[in-house]
Structure 1
Amino acid sequence: MTFGMRKNERVNFERGVDVFIMGIDGTWRRSCRMIDVSQTGARLCVENSIEGLDLKEFFLLLSSTGLAYRRCKLVRVTGDQIGVEFLARDKEKSSKKRALK
């Protein structure tokens, strides 16, 4: 599947938006540029290697302080670009409940 085949309308950023990806446990963080975004996901250009990072679930930090974020999972890698899917907030809540048990 190419980046152009989408279910939801995309917003493209001509120069990209500076964002970060960060591990769920906070042990790693990478700078990236968000190239486009929709309600369900985004396309990011990662500045450094993602080799060895756990990208099953991670945070997309939309602000440098981390106050605006989305929980994501990796769906594809194409060169220095990655496609991410936003995880539903219901999944976040159920994950927190499991962690408290």
Structure 2
Amino acid sequence: MMGNDRKAQRVRFDHKHAVSIMGVDGTWRRSCILLDASASGAKLEVDGSTDPLKAQEFFLVLSSTGLAFRRCELIWVDGSQVGIHFVTAKTKGKANPEKRLVRSQ
């Protein structure tokens, strides 16, 4: 079970917030529900296959026009739910792939 070693406090949403994720090259897109978020990451419920997420990096698109987005990297997968970390200039390249936890595929 994960969650007790978080550096940033998460905000859990009572209502469904529809967002989407998109490949950095724009070749794929999936609808998602934003379950919770913090300054450093979020938990999403992905509609459809999580196979494209094997690319490890993608965009979380927060608006229907695509003007609000965050670059992300995949941290874990558990069925249709995924944990993501927001990539910033400070964190780019710092994540250790060996520390990632993929619960199921």
1:16 aligns with 2:16: yes
Deviation at 1:53, TM superposition (A): 4.2
Which deviations, in whole Å up to 9, do the C-alpha atoms of 1:19-70 show, x marking residues without a partner?
Answer: 0000001000000000000000000000101124443210000001110000
Give the structure 2 partner of residue 46 of structure 1: 46
The structure that is helix-richer by fraction is: 1
Q: Please, what is the CA RMSD of the aligned residues?
A: 1.6
Specify the structure having the higher radius of gyration (Cα).
1
Amino acid at match of 1:24: V
Aligned length: 91
Structure 1 portions without partners, runs of 5+: 92-101
How many Å separate the matches in 1 of 2:4 and 2:15?
18
Deviation at 1:3, TM superposition (A): 3.9
Give the structure 2 partner of residue 61 of structure 1: 61
Amino acid at match of 2:47: E
TM-score by length of structure 2 reads 0.78
How many Å separate the matches in 2 of 1:67 and 1:18?
15
Amino acid at match of 2:11: V
